[in-house]
């Protein structure tokens, strides 16, 4: 049976461009191919960039008030279509519907933030910095900017980028993940319905060919990337080499530290949610539980019980708490890591490979390892699936040292009833986002999101105030109107000017 083809959207209309290659889009709950997505060639990327270039003069000169109004209109449409957007995410990614809905809501908060663009773009003004001289600053858009995004938040992560890029006056080219691309087509339609001029938001689907074409394109001023660490590093190196501004967010291995003074049942409940929500396919998932001292025994017991109780099933089915993983290769990778953990001598407390879900979907159950040590693959690598490993340490300091020795540094959390321990942890740990009794400390839209070390390449975190800074450049203007001041104070001198 013929399946649907997912097209690009360039300059306001859906198009196949010159693409002939395609990739399968699965229904992870059944294992069936539900669509084919077109994979862009260099010429398709160029067409999107040219559409964005043509739209740039008009859009960047559109008043900030009108740009804000457009964001309000877009926001209303996203809210109206919340369920439609979430249904598409759930059907292509596999995550449960309520989780998909939460993702879209968190994305919508980015649009809420972008609606405030008149306030966010206010510059600074200093009167009379020298006799008759005033100084002011303002920010201008960069031009055509691009976003390259991962599969795990197909609606929200692009929304970390495009509302802010567009509200600040840029035009945008998005290359979403080829694994779950359709939701971005609906987003493009909603922008058009909101009244966004053609060419301001363009969508090209694709793989490495499209990514490389974006990185090398001379008319793209900046690239925002979110994905795995090796690709983030590559994107950063290749695009900065040709003078682009780049923010490239990478992978993660997030530790949740549990002190003996924590409410262990509550800590276990949060660790389980953070480890197994979205089948562990979140960059802020907790994949390592660090049990300190006497916490270990009872914590592992609570985790075992709660991991076993999780209801795994199709994301669209009411009652499912955890869906399948995104693709057959992901399933294979996760199964092989579980095998590697067993071989390395870790204690397999709950084995997700034993899960029996009817049908041919990409299901694997929650998996729990105890007595994992830092040299094991299951500790060192980002598995990106429903696998939680427990590392036992003797003290808070050992937990902090373990985290600081790890190359990834996206998020971390501590569970404790001691304010003193929490404060020590939050000040000493070398990680970008920290939760205190909060397992997934994803900042709200009006703060910025970003990890440290191998979890982010580039100087800017994403969205929030750093998003505004990333998508704009500052100008500082020094003015004098000579007629207004006493002429003797307005003479030119060969020495470097100082204030008078």
Of residues 78 and 285, the one with the C-beta less far from ligand NAD:
285
Active site residue 184: no
Report whether 361 contacts 314 (CB < 8 A). yes
Q: Is 231 in the site for ligand NAD (CB under 6 A)?
A: yes
Closest distance between ligand NAD and the C-beta of residue 158, in Å? 10
Sheet with 286-292: strands ordered across: 347-350, 367-370, 387-393, 286-292, 254-258, 411-415, 433-436
**Residue 150 binds ligand NAD (CB under 6 A):** yes
Interface mask (CB under 6 A) for ligand NAD, residues 387-426, using x and -?
-----------------------x----------------
Determine the interface stretch with ligand NAD among 189-197, 203-211, 334-342, 488-496 (rule: CB under 6 A): 203-211
Q: Out of 312, 382, 383, 422, which residue is the one contacting ligand NAD (CB under 6 A)?
A: 382
Tell me: does residue 151 bind ligand NAD (CB under 6 A): yes
| Contact between 161 and ligand NAD per CB under 6 A | no
Site membership for ligand NAD, residue 140 (CB under 6 A): no
Residue number with CB closer to ligand NAD (408 or 425)? 408
CA distance 205 to 19: 10
Q: Contact between 384 and ligand NAD (CB under 6 A)?
A: yes
Q: Residues 251, 314, 315, 435: which binds ligand NAD (CB under 6 A)?
A: 251
Contact pattern from residue 422 through residue 461 relative to ligand NAD, giving x for each residue in contact according to CB under 6 A and a dash for the rest? -----------------------------x---x------
* Closer by beta carbon to ligand NAD, 146 or else 291: 146
Among 147, 227, 313, 361, binds ligand NAD (CB under 6 A): 227
Q: Which of residues 274-293 bind ligand NAD (CB under 6 A)?
A: 283
Active site residues: 283
Contact residues toward ligand NAD (CB under 6 A) are: 148-153, 157, 175, 177-178, 207-208, 211, 226-228, 231, 249-252, 283, 382, 384, 410, 451, 455
């Amino acid at each position: 049976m013929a399946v649907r083809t997912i097209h690009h959207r360039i300059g306001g209309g859906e198009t196949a461009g010159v693409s002939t290659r395609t990739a399968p889009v699965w229904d992870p709950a059944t294992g069936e191919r539900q669509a084919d997505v077109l994979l862009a060639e260099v010429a398709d990327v160029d067409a999107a960039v040219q559409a964005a270039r043509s739209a740039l003069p008009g859009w960047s000169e559109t008043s900030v008030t009108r740009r804000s109004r457009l964001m309000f209109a877009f926001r209303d449409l996203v809210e109206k279509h919340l369920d439609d957007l979430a249904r598409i995410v759930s059907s292509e990614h596999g995550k449960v519907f309520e989780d998909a809905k939460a993702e879209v809501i968190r994305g919508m908060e980015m649009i809420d933030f972008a609606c405030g663009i008149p306030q966010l773009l206010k510059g600074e003004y200093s009167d009379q910095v020298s006799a008759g001289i005033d100084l002011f600053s303002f920010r201008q858009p960069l031009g055509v900017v691009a976003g390259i995004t991962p599969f795990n938040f197909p609606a929200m992560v692009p929304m970390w980028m495009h509302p802010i890029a567009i509200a600040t006056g840029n035009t945008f080219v998005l290359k979403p993940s080829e694994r779950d691309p359709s939701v971005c087509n609906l987003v493009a339609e909603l922008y058009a319905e909101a009244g966004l001029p053609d060419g301001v938001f363009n969508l090209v689907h694709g793989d490495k060919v499209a990514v490389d074409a974006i990185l090398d394109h001379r008319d793209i001023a900046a690239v925002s990337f979110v994905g795995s660490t090796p690709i983030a590093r590559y994107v950063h190196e290749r695009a900065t080499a040709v003078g682009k501004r780049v923010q490239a967010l990478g992978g993660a291995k997030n530790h949740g530290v549990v002190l003996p003074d924590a409410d262990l049942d509550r800590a276990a409940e949060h660790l389980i949610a953070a480890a197994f929500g979205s089948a562990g396919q979140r960059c802020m998932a907790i994949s390592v539980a660090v049990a300190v001292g006497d916490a270990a025994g009872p914590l592992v017991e609570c985790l075992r019980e709660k991991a076993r109780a999780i209801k795994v099933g199709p994301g669209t089915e009411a009652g499912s708490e955890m869906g399948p993983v995104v693709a057959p290769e992901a399933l294979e990778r996760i199964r092989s890591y579980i095998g590697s953990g067993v071989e390395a001598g870790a204690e397999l407390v709950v084995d997700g490979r034993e899960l029996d879900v009817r049908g041919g979907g990409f299901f694997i159950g929650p998996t729990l390892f105890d007595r994992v040590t830092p040299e094991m693959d299951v500790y060192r690598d980002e598995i990106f699936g429903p696998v939680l490993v427990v590392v036992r340490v003797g003290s808070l300091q050992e937990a902090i040292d373990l985290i600081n020795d790890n190359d990834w540094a996206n998020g971390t959390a501590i569970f404790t009833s001691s304010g003193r321990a929490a404060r020590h942890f939050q000040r000493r740990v070398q990680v970008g986002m920290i939760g205190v009794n909060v397992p997934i400390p994803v900042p709200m839209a009006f703060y910025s999101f970003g990890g440290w070390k191998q979890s982010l390449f580039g100087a800017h975190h994403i969205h929030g105030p750093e998003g505004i800074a990333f998508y704009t450049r500052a100008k500082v203007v020094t003015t004098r109107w000579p007629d207004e001041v006493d002429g003797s104070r307005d003479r030119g001198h060969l020495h470097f000017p100082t204030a008078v």
